[in-house]
Structure 1
Amino acid sequence: MLARSFYKRFSQTRFLSGLKLSSVSTGTFLQREDVNNKLTTRSVHAFSGIPKFSSEPEVPIHKMVSSIYDHVAKCRPEDFSEEDKKKKPLEPRTISDSYRKFVIPLSTDIEKQKEYLSAMGNVRIGKILEDLDHMAVHVAYIHNSENGSLDGPMTLPRTIVTASVKRIDFHKEDINSSRDIIIDGQVTYAGSSSMQISIRLFQNDESGNLIHLLKADFIMVSRDPLDGTKKIRVHGLVAKTPDEAETINQAKEQIKTMSSKNNREPTNEEFRLIHDMYSKLIGRNMVNDIPVLTNNEMWMHKSKLSVTEICFPEYQNMYGKIFGGFLMRKALELAYTNAKMYCKGKVAIRSMDHIEFAKAVEIGHVLHFDSFVTYTDGKYIQMKVAASISDQNKLPELAKMNNPTLGQEARVNTNVFNFTMESVENPNVLTIVPKHYVHATTYLEGRRLLNNTVQRIIS
């Protein structure tokens, strides 16, 4: 894409058609409104709460996307010295400083409706994922802009990219394709060079009540535009209220827990679980020690479904790499297809967890997505999608990086995606069973993710 005209936050746009904005405010998101040309903020309690939006004109989402490109295009890294990058004072910002809200105008924009329409007649979740990624980048740049607007310069030269997606919880997966969608977000944690961006989606139901569709937490990192391996400092985050302080502290603890290796090692209970499982499987065989499955079980490796494609320039972001939102969309659509085939019926997406962006994907790479069912419990299925790249022009280089055994294709892993699905039509799906040790560790990881989702948003 090419940089477009300057983005103006309060430019004349369509009003949000048909939205009834009179719900009770609850939670820690913050809302901005224009009162007599003076920008003010007020608290909107709890991420899961329903906000009370102001009636000011809504800014369509395409302006949010174009503003990012314009902002990055104006960055001049050569104007900053190494001393600036290390020592320039960066004043801390508040949560409300970065709050922004946009609309996906499905009620008035026919072309936008077609773009978002799924085969089932509702909104494609994959397209929503792309919007979430753009929103996270936009809010992160707002937090680090000179005057709180992308019309102005950056406080330091920086490239902001998605490091991981901590979680996306879907409160309603069946999104209407003819009603406007509100997307809002803000920074809820800032470290030395990383930030957590929390985003929500809302839409009116058939009665005109505003419904909370999903909440997402993205982890963004700031890098030097001239050397992507170097970190660039970001503005800190300070709390103005006890609620904000609690939000920041919770995010800090969650990020610390995610990065701890101890939380990824199997516990004694999990080792016993695998031992008991294999004792049961082998106990069914009266002749030798070969495990036996019933008709209601399936080996994990048998659930594999893959797709491969070439990365074209149309999928690139402003840095010339493949857009992270595109990778999420492709992974989700593959996982959804695999889950639907596994359940032999309709499935619903309930959550996305621990999405990792380990390595950039370049134009021209051959991109491979491999999906597996990693754990099942009643009507719930945990899916994992691993993305890897191969390049016919760089096979020796990739082979050296990945150490493939003889006969294997030289690939490098780039991304990992985890999805929790629900079987809507079949309440008892096949039980997935790991056959090898590496599958057993994947099984335990899937079990943790699914149980967390059930406890967090289903129970």
Structure 2
Amino acid sequence: MLRSLIGAQKCLYLFNRTVNNLNNVAPVASMLSIRHYAPPTHIKQSAVPNDSGTMAQVKLEMMERLGLDGGYQPVPKSREHLLKYQPKLEDLPARAMQDSFTSAIIPLSTNRSLQDKYVTYLGNVRMGRLLEDMDIFAAWCCHKHLMVPQLPADVHLPYTFVTILVDRIDFSNTLASGTEDIRLSGHVSWVGTSSMEVVVWLEQMQNGSYRKLTRALFLMAARNATNTTAAPVNPIKPANEEEVMILAGGMDRKRRRQLICAQSIFKVEPNDPEQSLMYELYKRTTPSDTMELNKRILPPNCRWMSDSYQMSTIPSFPENRNHHNRVFGGFLMRTALEISWAAAVLYCKTRPKLEHIADISFEKPVSVDSFIKMTAYVVYTKLNYVQIMTVAEVLDTHTGNQVTTNTFYYTFSAPQTVTEVLPRSYHETMWYIQGRRKFEYSMGLNKT
């Protein structure tokens, strides 16, 4: 552990030294945001049919497989009769990754009504809309992975799929247009007993060829037909050496997620370098000429964290539901991204670029009649970077209680150096440390 901390500090020192030698801060984003985007070649070139048509067709096909009807019903259609068809793990044959690989198109070049939903006022694409599609598409890859040999042909799929978390969404420097076709592709990259990791790519047609936009990792849970207990899924049997490596990477990511969860700043005390940083923050913001309790001073060109947030309360409607009459996870991701972007714009006083989305956790389901409070806090800044932490809370209209259902972390970059944000309370200092960790991880400076 000590070695990893020393390594992280050394990387941060090298990062700072490199940046300090640059005359222009803006190129740092492109220098540090290089990620792996390309889908595995052997999977794309496999003999398995993988074209799923448009995203609209994907949504209809998923509803048909699950036996769901169109239109909103306050009481969802019962699926209890499907419980008897739930297979056992030993009845499910192993699947290769290429079996679940598929692709779908968002036809923005020909569908004007879609353009209105996806385009920004500058003509670019709304990334929040794409997050919604990626969430749906990840569930579709789960459908493609499943094979239940003993399920009668006339019986609907006795499964429910829910998003557990989204891990690492990195963005390329390609500027996405709101009027050109976008292709989603992906496959199941790792499985547990009832969980599946799905990797999803976004590419856009530009100048006659597809260019990479982003890549995301979704962790999905398979549940039974009534969403009351976990359901087993087909194991993975790698088809070749490349799939072996991908599967091993999935195991490494699982261990990393467990380590990050165990070391969360909200569960264990800060490490030694972080405690030293906390003391430095205290010294910078505390006057030396008085011992007055709670007296704090704001250094030049800085802002208090408590003055650096944006909040919105959103009523939920059936339009935002998933297949099980809960608020669709993609809607929460889109809403959180859009208020986070607004917070970043207002803080930077310019239009920043979204560089990275860290892990998104889905802790509790949200009812379609909920009031959702989204609060986007600026929790850390570094040079021209802004780290946003957005918290989604469900408001109980009868008791006034608030329950946190989701936490989102976003890294934005501005064209110039931004005002430094500083914590004023111990609670805010913990958020500052958490934001710093997320920033270093997104920049590749901290691997744990």
Tell me the TM-score normalised to structure 2 length.
Answer: 0.81
Query: How many aligned residue pairs are there?
Result: 392
- With over 3 angstroms needed to count, the CA separation of the structure-2 counterparts of 1:26 and 1:310, relative to structure 1, is closer
- With over 3 angstroms needed to count, the CA separation of the structure-2 counterparts of 1:138 and 1:369, relative to structure 1, is same
Structure 1 ranges of 4+ moved more than 4 A: 74-77, 84-88, 151-155
Letter in 1 for 2:188: V
Letter in 1 for 2:317: F
Partner of 1:17: none
Partner of 2:403: 412
- Work out the CA distance in 2 between the residues paired with 1:222 and 1:81: 16
Partner of 1:272: 276
Asked if the contact 2:160/2:226 (under 8 Å) is kept, the reply is no
- With over 3 angstroms needed to count, the CA separation of the structure-2 counterparts of 1:227 and 1:130, relative to structure 1, is closer
- With over 3 angstroms needed to count, the CA separation of the structure-2 counterparts of 1:136 and 1:168, relative to structure 1, is same
Deviations 1:390-425 (A, max 9, x none): 1324x2xxxxxxxxxxxxx4111111111111113x
- Work out the CA distance in 2 between the residues paired with 1:237 and 1:362: 34
Where 1:442 maps in the other structure, the secondary structure is helix
Letter in 2 for 1:162: T
Tell me the TM-score normalised to structure 1 length.
Answer: 0.79
Partner of 1:243: 242
- With over 3 angstroms needed to count, the CA separation of the structure-2 counterparts of 1:208 and 1:231, relative to structure 1, is same
- With over 3 angstroms needed to count, the CA separation of the structure-2 counterparts of 1:26 and 1:262, relative to structure 1, is closer
Letter in 2 for 1:442: W
Deviation at 1:152, TM superposition (A): 7.9
- Report which structure shows greater RCO (CA 8 Å, sep ≥6): 2
1:68 and 2:62 are equivalent in the alignment: yes
Letter in 1 for 2:66: V
Partner of 2:47: 40
Any unmatched runs of 5+ in structure 2?
1-36, 69-77
Asked if the contact 1:389/1:413 (under 8 Å) is kept, the reply is yes
Partner of 1:342: 347
Is 116-125 or 251-260 further displaced after alignment?
Answer: 251-260
- With over 3 angstroms needed to count, the CA separation of the structure-2 counterparts of 1:184 and 1:27, relative to structure 1, is closer
Where 1:259 maps in the other structure, the secondary structure is helix
1:378 and 2:367 are equivalent in the alignment: no
Deviations 1:208-246 (A, max 9, x none): 343111000001001123353x21111111212222111
Asked if the contact 1:146/1:152 (under 8 Å) is kept, the reply is no
Deviation at 1:273, TM superposition (A): 1.1
Partner of 1:126: 128
Letter in 2 for 1:288: M
- With over 3 angstroms needed to count, the CA separation of the structure-2 counterparts of 1:158 and 1:202, relative to structure 1, is same
- Work out the CA distance in 2 between the residues paired with 1:125 and 1:413: 24
Deviations 1:30-67 (A, max 9, x none): 5456xxxxx705xxxxxxxxxxxx9x987111111111
- Work out the CA distance in 1 between the residues paired with 2:253 and 2:209: 32
Partner of 1:28: 40
Partner of 2:213: 213
Partner of 2:28: none
Deviations 1:108-162 (A, max 9, x none): 1111111211122211111101100000111112211437x9x98677x221000
Letter in 1 for 2:146: N
- Work out the CA distance in 1 between the residues paired with 2:279 and 2:159: 50
Where 2:92 maps in the other structure, the secondary structure is coil
Partner of 1:224: 224
Partner of 1:430: 419
Deviation at 1:28, TM superposition (A): 2.7
- With over 3 angstroms needed to count, the CA separation of the structure-2 counterparts of 1:90 and 1:262, relative to structure 1, is same
Partner of 1:91: 93
Letter in 2 for 1:191: G
- Work out the CA distance in 2 between the residues paired with 1:26 and 1:331: 27
- With over 3 angstroms needed to count, the CA separation of the structure-2 counterparts of 1:164 and 1:326, relative to structure 1, is same
Letter in 2 for 1:255: K
- With over 3 angstroms needed to count, the CA separation of the structure-2 counterparts of 1:456 and 1:238, relative to structure 1, is farther
Partner of 1:194: 195
- Work out the CA distance in 1 between the residues paired with 2:82 and 2:194: 20
Where 1:59 maps in the other structure, the secondary structure is strand
Partner of 1:78: 81
1:330 and 2:335 are equivalent in the alignment: yes
- With over 3 angstroms needed to count, the CA separation of the structure-2 counterparts of 1:444 and 1:237, relative to structure 1, is same
Asked if the contact 2:164/2:221 (under 8 Å) is kept, the reply is yes
Deviation at 1:281, TM superposition (A): 2.2
- Work out the CA distance in 1 between the residues paired with 2:279 and 2:52: 57
Where 2:139 maps in the other structure, the secondary structure is helix
Is 188-197 or 118-127 further displaced after alignment?
Answer: 118-127
1:353 maps to which of 358, 364, 368: 358
Partner of 2:394: 389
Where 2:312 maps in the other structure, the secondary structure is strand
Asked if the contact 1:105/1:179 (under 8 Å) is kept, the reply is yes
- Work out the CA distance in 1 between the residues paired with 2:126 and 2:211: 18
Partner of 1:294: 299
Where 2:131 maps in the other structure, the secondary structure is helix
Where 1:351 maps in the other structure, the secondary structure is strand
- Work out the CA distance in 1 between the residues paired with 2:231 and 2:156: 12
Where 2:177 maps in the other structure, the secondary structure is coil
2:119 maps to which of 117, 120, 123: 117
Aligned identity (percent) is 26
Quote the RMSD (CA, aligned, Å). 2.6
Partner of 2:15: none
Deviations 1:291-343 (A, max 9, x none): 31123111112112100021111111111111111110000000000000000
Where 1:238 maps in the other structure, the secondary structure is coil
Asked if the contact 1:281/1:293 (under 8 Å) is kept, the reply is yes
